[in-house]
Chains A and B, each alone.
Chain A
C-alpha cells in the first residue's frame, strides 16, 4: 500500500497481536488498568495527527476527551441503580435530587434548571453517538473559524487552551446539571444486545483494545492517502499549498475534526472502563500531559505517539507503587520531555525509524562479509 512500507506494517501488526494476547497473561484488575492506558494511547494518536501531521499544536485536546467522557457518563448515569432508585417513572441522577429546589418535580424535564438536556441521554446510544460526533462538529466549527482566519502556530495553542479552561469553568459551575467538581460517578454499565460491559471483565478490555487497533489503522491509512500528504504539505508551507490551489483551512479543519472524534471516542471508552467522568479531564495539566506522551513517543508517528502514551502510563503505574518515587515521577516526566524535545525531536519512533534505515543501509555489507567468510 502506498506509503506503508513493510516494517511499519509489522510494527502495527505486532502491537495488535500483543494487545489481543495480553488477557492471557494478566488478571482482570490489571487489564482494567491497561484498558485505561489504551484510551490514553488513542489520545496520543489524536495529538500526533494534529501536531505531527498538521503542525497544529492543540493544547486543549482534553476538551474533546471531556465531551466524549461526559456524554457517555450521562447515559450511563441514567442506567445506574442510583438513578433508578428514586421511584419516579423516569430515572433522575441522584445528585440532581440533592441540588433541586424544594418543591421541584422529580422529573428529568425540570428538576433543576436545564436538566432537560439530559432527556435524550436516557437512550444509551445518544451518549455513544454524541461522544464522537459532538467533538468532531465542535472541532469543525473551531477549525473553520481559527484556520479560516489564517491563525497558526502558538496562537492556535493559546485559543484551544483558553477554550478548554473556559469549558471547565462552566462545567464545574453548573453543579445542578453536571455535579460540578465531583463529576459523574456511580455509573451503570454499557449494555449491547443484553451483554453488559463490566469494566473488570475481559470483554471490556477487548472492546477497548479492538477500538484502539481500529483507530490506529484508520488514522495511519488516512495519513497515507493523498489528502494526508497534502495535509503534511500544508504543515511545511501553507503558502505553497495555497498557491497550488488547495483550500488549506479545509484540510486543517478536516484533520482537526478527525483528531477530535478520536479524542471523544477515547473519552467515551475511558468512562466505560473507569466508571466516572470528572472535570479533571478538562484541566490544562491533562491536555499538556497528552502532548508529552506524543512528544516522547514521536509526534511524527501515529503508532509511536500511542505507544508512548501507553508505555509512560505503565511505567508511571509501576513507579507510583513506590512511595518515594511518586513525587519524583513528575520531575522525571518533565526531564524526559525536555530531553526528547532537545535531543530526540522525532521521539522514540524517530529513533526506531533511523535505526531501521541504518540497518537497511548496512545489510548488503553484512551479506558480503558472510559470503567472504564462507
Chain B
C-alpha cells in the first residue's frame, strides 16, 4: 500500500538560508504523526511546502502516491490535503453551519455551486460533525463570536467535513486551557484512522495523548524518528533541546 503522504528530499532555499533542508519521510494511511522541533526548526515551513503555500526548491511531495509538487494551493487541497494554520482561521461573518457547508462542498467550481439545497447525506454528515466538535448548540451563531477554543474546533470540523485524506495541524492547542486541550485531543483521536494526520505540537503531555510516531526536526533536517519512548530517550534529541526548556 502506498503511504498517504511521502516527502522525498524536500528542501527550500530562502536566498541562501535553507529553512527545510532535505526532509524525507513517509506517513502511512490513517497514521497520526507528530512533528517536534525547537522554535525555528522548520516545522511550519515544512507544512507550507506540503500545502503549496511555499514552493519547494528541491524534492517532491506525494499525496496518495500522486505528485503534487509545485501545484497551486487550491489544487493541492483538492488532491486531498487539508490544513489548519497556527493562527485559527474561520469565516467570521458566516454562521458555524455555513462555515461547515463551505468546507463540505465537493465540487469547487462557481457553476456547480449555483444551487441551494444540501443532499440528505450531506445534511446528516454536517449534523454528525457539529456533534463531534461539540458546537451543535452554536450552529446558527456567527463564527466571529465564538471563543478561541470553539474557533479551533470549528476549524478542525471544517477539515473533517472537507474529507481531506491528509490533514496538517499546526499547533492545534496553542493558547488553550487544559480542559480545551483535553477536548482537542479527543477530537484529534477520533480523526485517526479515517484521516492521515501530521501534527506540530510543543505540549509533550498532549503529544503523549495522541502520538504514535514522532519525527523530530532540527535546523530543517530530520534528527530522529520513532515511538514516543524512543524519542524521549534519544541522546541527540536531548542535546538539541538542551538550553531550552527540555523536552518534558
Contacts and interface: CB of A to CB of B under 8 A. Distances in A.
A239 interface: yes
A225 B115 contact: yes
B26 interface: no
A251 B90 CA distance: 18
A29 B108 CA distance: 50
A230 B117 contact: no
A237 to B, nearest CB: 5
Nearest to B144: A236
Interface string A222-260: 101111011011011101111111111011001000000
A1 interface: yes
Contact of A243 (B51, B91, B110): B51
Contacts of A232: 91, 93-94, 98
B73 A240 contact: no
A226 B113 contact: yes
Interface stretch (B57-65, B75-83, B128-136, B208-216): B75-83
B14 interface: no
Contacts of A246: 74, 108
B233 interface: no
A244 B116 contact: no
A250 B109 contact: yes
Interface string A184-207: 000000000000000000000000
B77 A229 contact: no
Contacts of B114: 222, 225-227
B110 A250 contact: yes
B82 A236 contact: no
Given A247-B108, A254-B110, A235 B51 contact: no
Interface in A304-346: none
Interface in B98-125: 98-99, 101-103, 105, 108-110, 113-117
Nearest to B83: A243
B91 A240 contact: yes
A236 B162 CA distance: 18
A233 B109 contact: no
A233 B110 CA distance: 13
A241 B116 contact: no
A227 B107 CA distance: 11
Contacts of A237: 89-92
B103 A244 contact: yes
B102 A244 contact: yes
A139 to B, nearest CB: 14
Given A229-B98, A236-B92, A236-B94, A1 B74 contact: no
A247 B102 contact: no
A240 B115 CA distance: 22
A227 B91 contact: no
B115 A244 contact: no
Nearest to B77: A245
Contacts of A243: 51, 73-74, 77, 82-83
A372 interface: no
A233 B99 CA distance: 8
A24 interface: no
B20 interface: no
A2 B118 CA distance: 10
A217 B85 CA distance: 38
Given A242-B73, A242-B77, A243-B77, A230 B102 contact: yes
B172 to A, nearest CB: 15
A245 B108 contact: yes
B102 A233 contact: yes
A236 B88 CA distance: 13
Interface string B191-209: 0000000000000000000
Contacts of A2: 116-117
Nearest to B101: A229
A227 B74 CA distance: 16
Nearest to B84: A243
B93 A241 contact: no
B162 A229 contact: no
B169 interface: no
Interface string A209-223: 000000000000010
A226 B74 contact: no
Given A227-B114, A245-B78, 13 more contacts: A3-B116, A222-B114, A226-B115, A227-B113, A233-B98, A235-B93, A242-B74, A244-B82, A245-B74, A245-B77, A246-B108, A247-B108, A250-B109
28 contacts: A224-B116, A225-B113, A226-B102, A226-B115, A227-B113, A229-B94, A229-B101, A229-B102, A230-B102, A233-B91, A233-B98, A233-B99, A233-B102, A236-B90, A236-B91, A236-B93, A237-B89, A237-B91, A239-B85, A240-B90, A242-B77, A243-B77, A244-B82, A244-B103, A245-B78, A247-B109, A251-B110, A254-B110
Interface of A: 1-3, 222, 224-227, 229-230, 232-233, 235-237, 239-248, 250-251, 254
Interface of B: 51, 73-74, 77-78, 82-83, 85, 89-94, 98-99, 101-103, 105, 108-110, 113-117, 158, 162
Q: Which 3 A-B pairs have the closest CB atoms?
A: A245-B77, A227-B113, A236-B91
